[in-house]
Each structure stands twice: as structure tokens, then as C-alpha cells.
Structure 1
Amino acid sequence: MGCPLLQNTLAGLILVLLSKGSNVLGAEFSHLPDNITVLEGESVTLRCRIDEEVTHKAWLNRSNILFTGTDKWSLDKRVTLVNTSNREFSILIDKVQVTDEGPYTCTFQANNKPRITHVYLIVQVPARIVNISKSVSVNEGENVNLYCLAVGRPEPTVTWKDQKYGLVSEGEFLDITEIKRQQAEDYECITHNGVAPPDQQKVRVTVNYPPMITDMKNMPANLGKTAILRCDAMAVPPATFEWYRDDHRPVENDNTLRIKNEKTRSLLLFTNVTEKHFGNYTCFASNRLGSSNASMLLFRKLSHTSHIPRCASALTFFIYFFCQICSHSSFVTIRS
């Protein structure tokens, strides 16, 4: 806040010079200055109230003279005299800057006595993020280091928030060791100093990993009907899909079979099931990080009117299923 003794001495000296040799009998002033807080960019009025007949008056900022009476000494156009009378001697600072912070002194002479009033201007700046990590894409198992730099007056706090789980980490830096795919999300940086609403920005972290097939099952089908084989695979970046028959022939579209690829799955759509469609199918999912495959069977659905005795039905289905895998033969009947 500066040296009050030096400021008082300077203010008294100015009054001596202004009074052109008047006797100085003593000075009256407050030892602790009043604080005025203002946001950067706003305007503020510094008031100096006078209750006696004044002969000389002046405003100072540190060691700089701003006004002596109505004469302006400051070259700053933002500083103006807004009220000068027998009762008040006030100045206005427009569009306050951080450099305006500091001590201001109003000094006047009344009845041959210097009177001095101090005010300390505090300039606050809302917390603001000035530099933050860009969104990143990493492979699973790598380390991630995020940063978020903020400024403000008073000094702001910085917090990282996990959007998915609500976890909070204090400080400008967020370090994630051996990141997992479940940790891929938006991470939010929040900075706050109590001056204005918090400033916040998000960083997206993408975690790449090879395909993992999550859903597959054998499907029964009736001749002449429709059927679907489905292959679901989670992967980042998204997987590309290929289908193969049991003899390793790639499956291709025809008038009875269509392949439909979506973002996380591939479908084999049979529009008219025939004998040639029964068999084993392998789904192959891949991206630049790796691949995964799984096999499933399209088999003929057992008829409810089958002549198989009930006691043999379970065994019949097992034998039939085994035969479908090995030779894709027609239905095998077990006679009692």
C-alpha cells in the first residue's frame, strides 16, 4: 500500500507550495486508508468530502499529482474531476485498469491546517482461463497429461472435474496414468475467484482400443423365411466388418442375402433362407489397433410336428447340432 508517512509528508509539502508560504500548524489525517474495490473495466468515483472553508486542495496517486484545485496535472484522459465545491472534491476514473490499483490521497487546507484523507483502490479481475490443453486422442494404456492455466485478481483456484463420475482434482494439472477405455470422456476445467461466475472449458479425451466382439449367438431359421445373424463389436476407432463362411469364402451380397454394416455392429440379413445358407459364419472386426473374430451357426429350426419321440428329442437336437457344424447335413431322424 506504500508508505503512509511518505505520502502524508508529500501531501503536506504540496499544500505548503500551493499556499505560497502559509504557516502549517499541523496535519489531520486518518492512519488507515479506506479501501474501495472495483472490477477491471468499470468506473469508480473517489470522493473527498470537505466540511470547512478550503483555500487549497489536491489529489495525488502515489507520488503523482492528479489535480490541484481544478487544474489537471495528470495526462490520463480517463481521470476527470467530477465534483468540486465547498463540500466535495471528487475524481472519476473511467475504465479502471489493474495499474490503477494503489493509494490515492486527497489533501486540502482549511483554517491554515492541512487535512489529508487516504483511500486505497483495489482492482479485481474475474478468473479467466488463458491456456488449456487441446482435445487429445490416445491409445489405451498410455498416460494423459492435461493442463489449465488461469489468471485473475485475487488469485483464482483451478479445479478439474470428471464429467462421467463427478470426481474432482484440484490444481492446474491433471495426470491420468495408463488410461482405460472407460475413462474416455470430457474433462472440465473450472476456475473461480469469487469475483464473477466461474470460467469453465472442456477437454475431450478419446481412448483408442482394438475391437472386442460383445454379442454373438447361434440362430435357428426356417426354410423360405427371414433370418438375421448379428455381430456387435466395441472399438475406437470404429471397427470395419467382414463375414466368412466355414470354408473361408467371403460372404457377399446376393438376392437372398444382404450385409448391413452399422457403427458398432454388422448384420447378415437372410431374406429367403435356403439349404445353402445353413452353416457356420465368422464375423471379423478390425481397426488399426487390432482385430477380433467370432463364429456363429445358422441352423434349421426344429419343427414342432417332428416325429421324434419326446424321450429322444434332447439327444436328437444334440446330434443334429453336431452334424450341422461338421457337415451341414439335413435333419437326422432317430428312429425308436
Structure 2
Amino acid sequence: MGICGYFVAPWKCLVVIGVRLLFLVPAGVPARSGDSFSKDNITVRQGDSAVLKCTVDSKVSRVAWLNRTTILYAGADKWSLDPRVVRMDNTPVTEYSIKIQNVNVHDEGPYVCSILTSNKPKSSKVHLIVQGHKFVTEGEYVDMTAITKEQSGSYECISSNDISAPDVKTVKVTVNYAPFILKAGSTGTPVGQKGVLQCEASAVPGADFEWYKEDRRLLNGLNGIKIENQGKQSMLMFLNVSEEDYGNYTCVAMNTMGITNASIILYGPGTMMHDVNRAALSTHCSFCLLLTVFLLFLLKF
């Protein structure tokens, strides 16, 4: 079928052939009428308009603007489908100019004004340079190996150039980790008084808490017991302490990353306790309790 299709006007076919032949003319330096080729650079900021000018005279029979191998305008006819590309009509008769509105980095590159005269063809080449704001791309990153929970937080990426103010992007890094007990303890509580056992755990995602006495899970609201969870802290409260309430309790903290526990002793006033604080922070419990909690953990997550 050749260069032109069946539905292309004959004169447009001639323009295409003539324009493609003009591409074979070698590049030169900036010049005016009479030279075979002129070359220039235009620099604009991203978002502005770029005006591409071409000098013509009365001897011109055909003229067109091209971007690489795409015809933008041929004479007064627009070939480009891009609405941002328009021809400037209110210009001197010796000027054939087009405007590209709201330019972006994809518009950068060579543009050619191809002119056909009765004597010989000539071309004017313009290289459009678009200076844009710098943004973070997929190729710009920070590789954090063996990351720890201490490295979680907000990070700022700042890019700048001589064209515009620095561009700042904030990235929040969240490091998930299994719970660990921060604090666990109690005070001596007389029979008949209100007693409280406290357990605090750090975890991301936040920990869920469960309380056990030996291998029996304690439920909120049963047998005079109340459980309150507030953020990182869980409290096991006895509304009216009895002799049977004294003993060892286990606070279990768990999330999707793992599970941990601490033993806390509820004791009466005057009880001889050896290193109560160390016992409270102990992470040992019976095999049966660990097995029970682990099975519940698997069913939960």
C-alpha cells in the first residue's frame, strides 16, 4: 500500500514524503533564510508553554512541524491529536509558529520545522528541554537490612534543584515485632480488700492480653474478677480478696508476630517474699499452660 493509505488526501501524502526526505538533511548551526538547516535549544519549566518558531518567506510552498517522526502541523492543518498543541495565528507573515501548552517531561526532545521551496528544502531544528520538579522515583530508596523496632518512625526524603523549592516527602516506617513484657507487678493485699495485678507489654501490632491462674484461664466478670485492658497495659482486679486468691498468676501477651508471658504473685501483707520483683518478671510457666495458650493463639490468628 506504500507510504500513504487509501484514505489520505493526495496533498497530505506529498507532505509526508517531502517531510521524510527533509529528515535526511544534516544538522547545522543556527541560521536564517538561505541556509539548509538551523538548530536551536528552548528551555522551559514543567507546566509552562513552549513556543516553537520557524522563519519562512514568500518562496515557501510547503511547511510543517514535526516531533521526531510525528507530524504536528502541516501548513494550516493540524495533524496532532494532542489538544495542547496549537498553531499561533497572530504572528508575522514570515513566522510559522506553534505552541505546546502545559509541557511535561515527555514533551522533551527534537522538533523540526520542514520547509519546501521552489529551489531547495531546508529545515529548522529545535531541541526542547523541560526543567521539572524532582520527585522520588522507584529507583530512589533506602535499603534497611536487619531492621529493628528502634528504626520505626518517620523518614523524610528531600529533593531539590535550581528551578523550584525543595520537594519533601515523608515516609512512615512501621516495624512489627512480637510482644515483650515491660513491667509486671503487684502489692501486698489484705483479705477483704481490693487487689490489682498489672502487666504492661510493648508490641506492634498491639498485644492482646489473657490472664491465667496455673493452667486455668480467668474470664472477666466471673468469681469477683475484673479485667481491664488499656493500650499497652492490662490489669487483673480482685474486688474482694480471699485466701484462695493468693498465689501465682500468669499474664500472657500475644499478637500476630508471637507470644510471651510473665508470672505475677498476689500475696498478703507481711508475707515473706524473696525477690518479688524478679519473680514477677519471670517468663517461666508450666508446660500445660504454654500448650494451652499456644493452641488458643493458633485458633485466634
TM-score w.r.t. length of structure 1? 0.52
Residue by residue over 1:198-229, the C-alpha shift from the partner in whole angstroms, topping out at 9 and shown as x without a partner, is 484746544232x3221112312244332311
Check conservation: 1:212, 1:292, Cα contact below 8 A. yes
Equivalent residue letter for 2:99: L
Does residue 251 of structure 1 match 2:218?
yes
Does residue 43 of structure 1 match 2:49?
yes
Change (3 A) 1:203 1:257: closer
Of structures 1 and 2, the larger Rg is shown by 1
Does residue 208 of structure 1 match 2:180?
no
How far apart in 2 are the matches of 1:212 and 1:250?
A: 20
How far apart in 1 are the matches of 2:198 and 2:73?
A: 85
Does residue 92 of structure 1 match 2:59?
no
Residue by residue over 1:126-155, the C-alpha shift from the partner in whole angstroms, topping out at 9 and shown as x without a partner, is 5556xxxxxxxxxxxxxxxxxx526xxxxx
TM-score w.r.t. length of structure 2? 0.57
Residue by residue over 1:207-260, the C-alpha shift from the partner in whole angstroms, topping out at 9 and shown as x without a partner, is 232x32211123122443323110112234444433333x55443443632122
Does residue 101 of structure 1 match 2:70?
no
In the alignment, what sits opposite 2:80? 76
How far apart in 2 are the matches of 1:65 and 1:212?
A: 68
How far apart in 1 are the matches of 2:71 and 2:236?
A: 87
Match of 2:226, SS state, is strand
| Unmatched runs of 5 consecutive residues or more in structure 1 | 16-25, 130-147, 151-157, 159-171, 302-316, 326-336
Matching of residues 128-277 of structure 1 within 5 Å: 149=138, 158=140, 172=141, 174-185=142-153, 198=167, 200=169, 202=171, 204-209=173-178, 211-245=179-213, 248-252=215-219, 253-254=221-222, 256-277=224-245
More strand by share: 1
Check conservation: 2:176, 2:257, Cα contact below 8 A. no
| Unmatched runs of 5 consecutive residues or more in structure 2 | 1-22, 277-301
Greater displacement, 58-67 / 90-99:
58-67
How far apart in 2 are the matches of 1:117 and 1:95?
A: 23
Q: Percent identity?
A: 29
How far apart in 2 are the matches of 1:64 and 1:287?
A: 59
How far apart in 2 are the matches of 1:65 and 1:218?
A: 83
How far apart in 1 are the matches of 2:65 and 2:249?
A: 89
Change (3 A) 1:189 1:291: same
Change (3 A) 1:203 1:290: closer
How far apart in 2 are the matches of 1:284 and 1:94?
A: 64
Query: How many residues align structurally?
Result: 242
Match of 1:149, SS state, is coil
In the alignment, what sits opposite 2:267? 299
Check conservation: 2:73, 2:79, Cα contact below 8 A. no
Equivalent residue letter for 1:233: A
How far off is 1:56 after superposition?
Answer: 3.5
Question: Pick from 40, 55, 58: which aligns with 2:58?
Answer: 55
Does residue 321 of structure 1 match 2:288?
no
Check conservation: 2:49, 2:99, Cα contact below 8 A. yes
Check conservation: 1:48, 1:117, Cα contact below 8 A. yes
Equivalent residue letter for 1:101: G
Equivalent residue letter for 2:26: L
How far apart in 2 are the matches of 1:108 and 1:83?
A: 22
Check conservation: 1:36, 1:119, Cα contact below 8 A. no
How far apart in 1 are the matches of 2:70 and 2:193?
A: 95
How far apart in 2 are the matches of 1:229 and 1:261?
A: 12
